[in-house]
Amino acid sequence: MRRKVLKKIILTAILLLFLLPGFAQELNKPISAEEALKQKCGEYISAYRTFFTMDLYDYAMIKWIQAFDECPASSERMYIDGVSMYRSFIKDAPEGPEKERKIDSLLLIYDRRMEYFGGEGNILGRKGRDLLTYRGGDIDEVEKAYGMLKRSVELEREKSREPAMLLLISAGITLNKEGRMENSQVFDDYFLLSSFLDQGDGSSSRVKRTRERMDDLMLSKNILNCETLDAYFADKVEQHKEDVNFQLTLTRTYTLAVCELSDIFLQAEENLYRLKPGPESAHELGMAFLRRKEFDKALIYLNEALEDQDTDNVTRSKWNYDLARVNMELRDYCVAIDYAREALKLNNDLANAYVLLGDAFINSRSNLGDDFQQRTAFWAAADMYGRAAAADPTLEADAEEKLAEIQDSFPSKEDVFFRDLKQGDPYPVGGCINETTTVK
């Protein structure tokens, strides 16, 4: 292995001899100073690139430094290669002044590249990332990196790279925890980035991944909580009451933080219903009232949402289920049964609707007649719990628990015998249950 490396070095050295001016110029043909500099820069770059491509960075650096000092505008690739080499040098350098000097050199490369080739937004994002990587333990350096990343995303906007966005949030949270940044500034950055993501392709994996990781950062550091959200939005929800996108961002953030019981969240939902009337906003407002246990108001808006006949069946199924939930809370069990059945008619895989039906059967049993007939409601409920477990295995444990709880409420063996019935016989349960079950 060592011989191969030495052979490459020797061959490269021979090659470089032919790149020297004395060999490259034919018959000492005179050239202008500008042409001479251009030729010399070409020689520097060709020489360092030869060693660079062989990962011989120490040798490459000799000519790279000459190109960097004497030919700063000759090649943008030179700066990209310089970053790669200095990252390698930093990795291998011992802690102390030597490593710090190399970090300073790395940061200088970014500055020089911006000076001669522009691209401030992109390059500041990369510079900020490296500053956090190598000096993230120094809060003053974190503050500098934050400034670079903030400027980067302001310039790049929806084209901002994922690392720049995530590191901006991370740096802001760090500064916040150290008392150097207010909650409001962290929120401002978060919503600024969210608006940039909204301008991109919402279906792309990059946008989805970036949004999820931003959300995770805010949640994991307890920045997104109900108290801080209310403090941030208290004045803004009214100031931006005519801005649909702002209200959507607010409701999305409150939902993410599980703060839908906030008065500010409800205010935003009411604004959206006014600004963007339609089945979706009506449903969302109805669900807001449902969470607050204002069931009469929930009924109004959830019913309004279902008036639209163009909504797809899967959505209508879910909305019927939501109305069944409201009617369960209002103890209108027969109405709840009707909505749950309609939900399953539209989507028979909606496992929670089977659970609700089982619960509604039990709660509506008082209209069935004598004690035996009322107890048959538990047979019908058992069927529904079994269907729920079959439709969604994640509900199996809950369904089994409900089955265990109701078995003692089945009609007794003696009552079954005296009714001339036996295990497995079909049995019609009347009332609004109106279900044929089997003797159990």
Per the CB < 8 A criterion, the answer to whether 163 and 217 are in contact is no
The candidate with the shortest Cα–Cα distance to 134, out of 173, 88, 176, is 88
The model's pTM: 0.80
115 vs 119: CA distance, rounded Å: 9
What residue type is 329 in one-letter code? E
> Alpha carbon of 348 to those of 325, 340, 344, 396: distances in Å?
17, 10, 4, 17
Residue 347, both tokens: 């989507």
What is the per-residue DSSP string for 45-69? HHHHHHHHTTT-HHHHHHHHHHHHH
* pLDDT value at residue 29: 57
* pLDDT value at residue 28: 52
171 vs 109: CA distance, rounded Å: 23
* pLDDT value at residue 33: 74
The candidate with the shortest Cα–Cα distance to 167, out of 186, 149, 144, is 149
Return all residues near 123 (Cβ < 8 A) that are at least 6 apart. Answer: 110, 113, 114
* pLDDT value at residue 200: 75
* pLDDT tens across the length of the chain (440 residues): 544 555 455 445 544 443 444 444 444 556 777 788 889 999 999 999 999 999 999 999 999 999 999 999 999 999 999 999 999 999 999 999 999 999 999 999 999 999 999 999 999 999 999 999 999 999 999 999 999 999 999 999 999 999 999 999 999 999 999 999 999 999 999 999 999 998 877 668 888 899 999 999 999 988 899 999 999 999 999 999 999 999 999 999 999 999 999 999 999 999 999 999 999 999 999 999 999 999 999 999 999 999 998 999 999 999 999 999 999 999 999 999 999 999 999 999 999 999 999 999 999 999 999 999 999 999 999 999 999 999 999 999 999 999 999 999 999 999 999 999 999 999 999 999 999 999 99
Per the CB < 8 A criterion, the answer to whether 357 and 374 are in contact is no
268 vs 382: CA distance, rounded Å: 42
Residue 406, both tokens: 């109701």
In this structure, the number of other CB atoms found within 10 A of the CB of residue 272 comes to: 22
* pLDDT value at residue 19: 47
SS3 at position 207: helix
Residue 352, both tokens: 């929670």
Direct distance between the N- and C-terminal alpha carbons of the chain, in angstroms, rounded to an integer: 80
